[in-house]
Amino acid sequence: MSNPTPQPKKLFIKTYGCQMNVYDSDRMADALAPHGYMPVHEIADADLVVLNTCHIREKASEKVFSELGRLKELRAERQAAGLDLTIGVAGCVAQAEGEEIVRRVPDVDLVFGPQSYHRLPDLLARVDGARGLHAALRAPVVDTDFPEEDKFEHLPAPRKEVTVSRGLTAFLTVQEGCDKFCTFCVVPYTRGTEVSRPLAQVLEEARRLADAGVREITLLGQNVNAYHGLDGAGRPAGLGELCYRLSEIEGLARIRYTTSHPADMADELIEAHRDLGALMPYLHLPVQSGSDRILQAMNRKHTRQSYLELVARIRAARPDIALSGDFIVGFPGETDEDFEQTLSIAAEAGYASAFTFKYSPRPGTPASGLGGQVPEPVKVERLARLNAQIAAQTRSFAESCVGKVLPVLIEKKGRNPGQLGGRSPYLQAVHMDGPERLIGGIHPVEILALSNNSLSGRIVTVAERSSARVVESRPVPPCPATRSKGILSRHVPPPADNALSPQLELAFDDNRLAAQLYGDFDQNLALIEQRLSVQATPRGNHVMLKGAAQEVDQARRVLESLYELLEEGRAIDIANVDAVIRMVQSDDSQLTLPTLEKKGKVRMAQIATRKATIVARTPAQDAYMRAMDRAELVFGVGPAGTGKTYLAVAHAATLLERGDINRIILSRPAVEAGERLGFLPGDMKEKVDPYLRPLYDALYDMMKPEAVERGITSGIIEVAPLAFMRGRTLANAVVILDEAQNTTSMQMKMFLTRLGENSKMIVTGDPTQVDLPRGERSGLVEALGLLDGIEGIHISRFTDRDVVRHALVGRIVRAYEGATAKGDRAS
């Protein structure tokens, strides 16, 4: 007789406490899935119920015991119906209380601690084995050892469909345990000493999650920023490095982490907040108390002052960070004065949200034995005051978001039909209307109002934005620890039978950079081969170049120049490759550039914006970019498509980024609309915005969408019609005037005389494209005549040879120029 297919067993895991338990519950389900356990939604349907418990506060463990009382009844009911129920207790209460649980509730079959989840199938088999025994011999299984083995290595990965079904956001535990021993806390005793998972293991799990469509990962650990997982070379990598590495994973748009200790906030992690667009501007950094006396009694290892200084450093790196924290009120010995300090630090540090707790003595912790326990009514009163203050702060933070456009990760359908729900970078819930197909994407949402605990907004339509806005990532600067050291090149004697000679072999010492150098499907090498008539064959981190001597040498210089950009942490694309080839060729054809080292590596002028490195693509661009560095007033004149405005905006964005200036002002004459603007509906901004759209587009090309939006809402970036410049002094700014051929003489003079302290003006336009009312002389044409040769003023002239937008644009420009020349002759 064949065995009947075993019925799937039904599993219900009830999770208490923190996110680490949520993660652990999923891992238990994953461990049991191959053994025929299927999760069910109703506890009453389950064959196995596991309570995944939390021990951090007293209430949590009491809840577990009352739940066990109910399960005992459920078991009796099921047994009466000829069914059975296995009851398991996991988590920190299991770890802490162990045998005590089965003593209090003998119906419990299995008690196991957080380090035993991977052994769950074995433990259940032991429970089933015991079932067959005589009642007197039966004993519940208790496993609360801290085993030596790495449980993560033994936990099976769930099937991809399971991960997909769990949604777009996922937790990933990277470290467990804590060595801080805050005197109120049980964690060091229940979860044990601090252990980090190896870097590669974490990255692999993250890749698997991203592959299943997860867009946001929250790294978990009781003390997550103490993470020090070993890398391949056996060197400990910190949380900062981990974030850099994670941000390279395709598809993974957002990274968060929790919970952190102020003493473990390493510089590298703060830098990651500055550098990584994927690392969300939200930080849970518990302070617990604002009083130094209490902080010391808590063994917190930080003071009020050091905490505030730390927050200031983090804010300097990431100004919009939303700070969250934990507070305990009524710690033994806490006076009214100490408590006032807690209220004041909450305000001073500027929390956007916080979790607040009444102190509860945990058995076995040092503080539980302290004198000066605070009476319950005092704790209640203090908690209420702190909660009221935090609620007000949370509200005012939310209010500050109203009117802004925030990138929202759209996670699910909303409660009402046609509604969607997602989260802002600051972890606020956001509701908006929109089609379901947007779920999984990050979309700009204009925040319109706040209701209770969430924000509501409207998705900014495609027509209103450049497509660049929906992209949240930016090129990742390499983690300092993985920076490369250089290139080796050696000449290889040509084999006798090879017509192509000589040969040159280049060796790049960083495989990752070499891969970026070659491009997707080696497309960068292919372009070099095509344009320079060489053969470039990659083998790992070596490239073999074959061809005529001059071309091989050019290819070498191209590759070395590009590699240098990569080493500086820049991303390169095919356009950069094209540019470098042009530069090397123009160098050799005597179109010399001032700084070009003959026959050496080419150093084209370059602008490294947050989103990409823009390298000069033509000699005129090179001269223009250098002029913007030196001169205070630069004119970029010539045909469309030569990158005049684009490069000006890039230059401004970098100066802003570096803190050299405080603001960017972008302007253009709105002549197309002229005075008729007054008849259009809407306020002035709405009326002129369409005319300024190209400037917005350039900004979104250079900067992260959030940075642009932050800049615009805070007034750091101003996009305004020329008329708005009247009467102002523009100091500490880069001011860009685009389409300047359409200014009148008066307007140009007005504009140029606005130049203030520490400012720079860049005026771009095409004198052949004047679109002014009849008889008006172009302010640009006039200025070029009057100002040429004045010190501090530079005029860069572009021609059709510099058109980089599209080859056809160059030909169109040439055709028009030809026609104009003929027309001129005819008239």
Which positions touch ligand 5AD (CB under 6 A)? 56-57, 184-185, 286, 288, 326, 328, 357, 359-360, 362
- Both tokens assigned to 106: 């003998």
Stretch that binds ligand SF4, among 180-188, 449-457, 620-628, 780-788 (CB under 6 A): 180-188
Report helix, strand or coil for 568. coil
- The mark string for 259-298 relative to ligand SF4 (x by CB under 6 A, - otherwise) is --x-------------------------------------
In the complex, least distance from residue 326 CB atom to ligand SF4, rounded to whole angstroms: 8
Determine the size of the site formed for ligand SF4 (CB under 6 A). 10
Q: Which of 108, 168, 187, 287 binds ligand SF4 (CB under 6 A)?
A: 187
Beta carbons within 10 angstroms of residue 283's beta carbon? 25
In the complex, least distance from residue 368 CB atom to ligand 5AD, rounded to whole angstroms: 8
Residue 291 interacting partner from ligand 5AD, ligand SF4, none (CB closer than 5 to 8 Å by kind): none
Closer Cβ to ligand SF4, 185 or 572, answer by number: 185
Residue 13 interacting partner from ligand 5AD, ligand SF4, none (CB closer than 5 to 8 Å by kind): none
Q: Which of 11, 178, 661, 793 binds ligand SF4 (CB under 6 A)?
A: 178
Residue 223 interacting partner from ligand SF4, ligand 5AD, none (CB closer than 5 to 8 Å by kind): ligand SF4
First-last CA distance in the chain: 105
Distance between CA atoms of residues 407 and 424, nearest Å: 6
Q: In terms of Cα–Cα distance, which of 258, 202, 260 is closest to 231?
A: 202
Binding of ligand SF4 at residue 603 (CB under 6 A)? no
Q: For residue 251, how far is the Cα from the chain centroid?
A: 12
DSSP 8-state secondary structure symbol assigned to residue 2: P
Task: Report angle CA 214, 31, 174 to the nearest 5 degrees.
Answer: 50
| Surface-to-core class of residue 216, CB atoms within 10 Å of its CB (0-12 exposed, 13-18 middle, 19+ buried) | buried
In the complex, least distance from residue 286 CB atom to ligand 5AD, rounded to whole angstroms: 4
Report helix, strand or coil for 469. helix
Q: For residue 663, how far is the Cα from the chain centroid?
A: 24
Closer Cβ to ligand SF4, 60 or 142, answer by number: 60
Distance between CA atoms of residues 18 and 191, nearest Å: 13
Q: Which of 185, 562, 661, 688 binds ligand SF4 (CB under 6 A)?
A: 185
Closer Cβ to ligand SF4, 75 or 362, answer by number: 362
Closer Cβ to ligand SF4, 289 or 764, answer by number: 289
In the complex, least distance from residue 180 CB atom to ligand SF4, rounded to whole angstroms: 4
Q: Are 34 and 1 a contacting pair, CB within 8 Å?
A: no
In the complex, least distance from residue 186 CB atom to ligand SF4, rounded to whole angstroms: 7
Distance between CA atoms of residues 716 and 701, nearest Å: 17
Distance between CA atoms of residues 827 and 825, nearest Å: 6
Q: Which of 158, 188, 422, 810 binds ligand SF4 (CB under 6 A)?
A: 188
Backbone angles phi, psi at 516, to 5 degrees: -65, -35
Binding of ligand SF4 at residue 355 (CB under 6 A)? no
Residue 424 interacting partner from ligand SF4, ligand 5AD, none (CB closer than 5 to 8 Å by kind): none
Residue 328 interacting partner from ligand SF4, ligand 5AD, none (CB closer than 5 to 8 Å by kind): ligand 5AD
In the complex, least distance from residue 184 CB atom to ligand SF4, rounded to whole angstroms: 7
Sheet containing 663-668, strands listed edge to edge, beginning at the edge strand earlier in sequence:
717-721, 663-668, 733-737, 760-765, 633-637, 793-797
Closer Cβ to ligand 5AD, 198 or 286, answer by number: 286
Q: For residue 360, how far is the Cα from the chain centroid?
A: 37
- Both tokens assigned to 218: 């929250």
Q: Are 283 and 324 a contacting pair, CB within 8 Å?
A: yes
Closer Cβ to ligand 5AD, 284 or 423, answer by number: 284
Closer Cβ to ligand 5AD, 222 or 561, answer by number: 222
Q: In terms of Cα–Cα distance, which of 722, 719, 730 is closest to 695?
A: 719
| Surface-to-core class of residue 177, CB atoms within 10 Å of its CB (0-12 exposed, 13-18 middle, 19+ buried) | buried
Distance between CA atoms of residues 317 and 271, nearest Å: 7
Beta carbons within 10 angstroms of residue 218's beta carbon? 21
Beta carbons within 10 angstroms of residue 729's beta carbon? 11
In the complex, least distance from residue 358 CB atom to ligand 5AD, rounded to whole angstroms: 6
In the complex, least distance from residue 59 CB atom to ligand SF4, rounded to whole angstroms: 17
Q: Which of 166, 180, 208, 395 binds ligand SF4 (CB under 6 A)?
A: 180
- The mark string for 642-671 relative to ligand SF4 (x by CB under 6 A, - otherwise) is ------------------------------
Integer-rounded Cα Rg, in Å, for the chain is 33
19: which strand partners? none
Binding of ligand SF4 at residue 222 (CB under 6 A)? yes
| Surface-to-core class of residue 818, CB atoms within 10 Å of its CB (0-12 exposed, 13-18 middle, 19+ buried) | exposed
Residue 407 interacting partner from ligand 5AD, ligand SF4, none (CB closer than 5 to 8 Å by kind): none
Residue 282 interacting partner from ligand 5AD, ligand SF4, none (CB closer than 5 to 8 Å by kind): none
Stretch that binds ligand SF4, among 175-183, 332-340, 376-384, 593-601 (CB under 6 A): 175-183
Binding of ligand SF4 at residue 181 (CB under 6 A)? yes
Binding of ligand SF4 at residue 182 (CB under 6 A)? yes
Report helix, strand or coil for 111. strand
Stretch that binds ligand SF4, among 75-83, 178-186, 660-668, 742-750 (CB under 6 A): 178-186
In the complex, least distance from residue 330 CB atom to ligand 5AD, rounded to whole angstroms: 8
Residue 736 interacting partner from ligand 5AD, ligand SF4, none (CB closer than 5 to 8 Å by kind): none
In the complex, least distance from residue 459 CB atom to ligand SF4, rounded to whole angstroms: 39
In the complex, least distance from residue 226 CB atom to ligand SF4, rounded to whole angstroms: 9
Please report the DSSP string for 720-763 in residue order.
Answer: EEGGGGTT--B-SEEEEE-SGGGSBHHHHHHHHTTB-TT-EEEE
SS (H, E, C) 769-783: HCCCCCCCCEHHHHH
Residue 362 interacting partner from ligand 5AD, ligand SF4, none (CB closer than 5 to 8 Å by kind): ligand 5AD
Cβ-closest position to ligand 5AD = 326
Closer Cβ to ligand SF4, 355 or 680, answer by number: 355
- Please give the sequence-ordered ranges of beta strands (E in DSSP) within 571-647, or none if there are none: 606-608, 613-615, 633-637
- The mark string for 224-263 relative to ligand SF4 (x by CB under 6 A, - otherwise) is -------------------------------------x--
Which residues lie below 8 Å from residue 249, measured CB to CB, with a gap of 6+?
A: 203, 206, 207, 210
Closer Cβ to ligand 5AD, 339 or 700, answer by number: 339
Strand pairing class (442-451; 733-737): unpaired
In the complex, least distance from residue 272 CB atom to ligand SF4, rounded to whole angstroms: 21
DSSP 8-state secondary structure symbol assigned to residue 1: -
Residue 51 interacting partner from ligand SF4, ligand 5AD, none (CB closer than 5 to 8 Å by kind): none
Q: Are 112 and 97 a contacting pair, CB within 8 Å?
A: no
Stretch that binds ligand SF4, among 149-157, 181-189, 370-378, 492-500 (CB under 6 A): 181-189
Residue 188 interacting partner from ligand SF4, ligand 5AD, none (CB closer than 5 to 8 Å by kind): ligand SF4
Residue 765 interacting partner from ligand SF4, ligand 5AD, none (CB closer than 5 to 8 Å by kind): none
For binding to ligand SF4 (CB under 6 A), which residues are involved? 178, 180-182, 185, 187-188, 222-223, 261
